[in-house]
Structures are given as structure tokens and as C-alpha cells.
Amino acid sequence: MKSFYLKRIISMLITIILITTLTFTMMHSIPGGPFTRERPVPDEILRALNAKYNLDDPLPVQYLNYMKGLITFDLGPSYSKIGTTVNDLIESGFPASAKIGLMATVIIVAIGIPLGVISALKQNKPIDYAVMFLATLGITVPSFVVATVIIYFFAGKLGWIPSFGLSDPKGYIGPVIALAGYSLSFVTRLTRSSMLEVLRQDYIRTARANGIKEFSVIMRHAMKNALIPVVTYVGPMIAAILTGSFVIEKIFAIPGIGRHFVESVNNRDYTTIMGITVFYAVFYLIMVFLVDVAYTLIDPRIKFREEK
């Protein structure tokens, strides 16, 4: 067990180094620089800015300095927001993104899994057709279309919710629904298909033949195996949702981490792009690690084995 955790942590560190190196290389391979604008900046000012942010150092020196900062959790200054660091942008944007993402995750898990189970148990019945129709609709309709419809009808026509911002608690309704729509539909379909496959297994037939109550067969025997594919999807999904949706935050004018990332791309803010990319990568790797741990909690038959 300890060997497994040690290997995974080392693997995560190597992955983070590779992602950081790749992002750094790509950012510095793009023609121009963070202070390149449509209106040319005088050479004297450009040299002064490059000297201030150490951009006139050789590229290997810049890389080593950035990696040193990464070790101490210093992601550097923002090139587009003077006097602001990348750490400040993440600290200010992540809470709003995380709140919306957390609410969306609760809705996805609390509604998606039960709907998928009910749909599987009522296969080829009206309720199954209705759930699958809504799930298919949720997958095929893009989130920005859902967001636009919510703003047009519920904010513009009916006035039930604000069209932007999070100052009013009702302001969370639109972004959460738009953010949860696709994943809720996908989890429902995934749970249904996984549940149907498990219900056809011999051990389920054996359990029913032995007179075990249907509720126990479903909850104690079928659900464990049926949930493994769902957990595999939900882990990385949480990382993606909690770190902000660029489109949803832009449409609802939410001051989240996704909006900072979009602005940094438009302004060629290298340090912010790299910082948010590394932040997302770390968050993603942690969630994948937790998924592996969750496997053993859902199904005790899955154990970590040391390789001989």
C-alpha cells in the first residue's frame, strides 16, 4: 500500500514537471512577447519592461527561475494586471468557480446516479424512455446554448434570476444548471448502461435465486460494480468543473478562474496561462489519485498489489 502511494506521488510529480516544461516551451515558442501589442511599444520601454520581469535573460535561466518559483508556490507576476501576481488571481477567482462547480457536482451525483439506476431497473418502460430522451438532449445541446436560453427566458423574460454576477444567491441557479447539464446527462446514461451490464451477471441471478430481497441485490451487490465506471468519470469531471468553465463564466460574467484564463490568453499573459495550467494539472492529478483510492472503498475486492 505504501509503495503504491509512493509510486503515484512520484508519478504525479514527474507529470507536473513535464506539463510545466511543455507549457513553458509552447509559450516561448509563440512569436512576439507578453508586451507585443497592435500599437508598437517604443524600444526603450520594451527593453525596460523585459528587464523588469527578467525576460531578457537566456531561456534556460528563465525556465530555472520559473521552476524555483513553482517549488515555493510562487507563480510569478501577471504581465497584464500590474501589481498583481498569478497567485492573487487564482486566490480571487477559484472560490467563485469552486462554489458553482461544487453545486453542479452535487446535482450531477445526487440526480444522475439515481436516474440511471431507475432507468436501468425500468428498462424499456415509459420512465426509461423519458429519462433517456432527456439525457440525450442534455448531451447534444451545448452548455453555451443552455446558458443563453436561461438568460433569455428566466432572466430576461420572466425576471426570476439575475442575468449576470453572483451578488444575489439566485445568480448561482443559471450557471449551475448550464454547467451541470452535460455531465448530469452523461452520468445518467453511464450509470444506466453499467447497471444493465451488472444486472445480467451470473452472481446477480444467483443472489436472486437464493431469495435475497431485491433491494439488497441492487444496493449491496449490483451498485458496487455498476458505480466503478461512474467514479472513473466523476473524479476528473470534478477537477474540470471546480476549476472553472471558461464559456459559462464568460456568459454569466462570473469573476472566476476561467475568466482570468481567457483574459490571459487574449493578453498573452504568459505567467498567468502557465500558472492556471499547472494549477489545473495538479488538481486533476489529485482527483485521479482519489478515484483510485475510491475503488477500494466501493469494492473491497480491489486491492493495491505490489509488483514482484
Residue 304 confidence class, pLDDT cut points 50, 70, 90: low
Mean of the pLDDT values across residues 252-275? Answer: 84
Q: pTM (2 decimals)?
A: 0.80
The pLDDT of residue 111 is 94
The chain-wide mean pLDDT, for the chain, equals 85
Distances in Å between the Cα of 183 and the Cα atoms of 140, 146, 188, 240 are 11, 13, 8, 11
**Cβ neighbours of 174 (radius 10 Å):** 26
Three-class DSSP category at 235: helix
Q: What is the pLDDT of residue 214?
A: 86
222: Cβ–Cβ under 8 A, 6 or more apart, which residues?
Answer: 195, 198, 199, 204
What's the grid cell of residue 186? 452523461
Q: By percentage, how much of the chain surpasses pLDDT 70? A: 94
Whether the predicted pLDDT of 280 surpasses 90: no
Q: What is the mean pLDDT of residues 94-123?
A: 91
C-alpha distance from residue 265 to each of 40, 76, 262, 270, 280 (Å):
19, 16, 5, 8, 15
Residue 304 CB neighbour total at 10 angstroms = 15
Cα(first)–Cα(last) distance of the chain, in Å? 14
Residue-level pLDDT at 244? 65
pLDDT (tens digit, 9 = 90+) per residue, 56-69?
A: 888 889 889 888 88
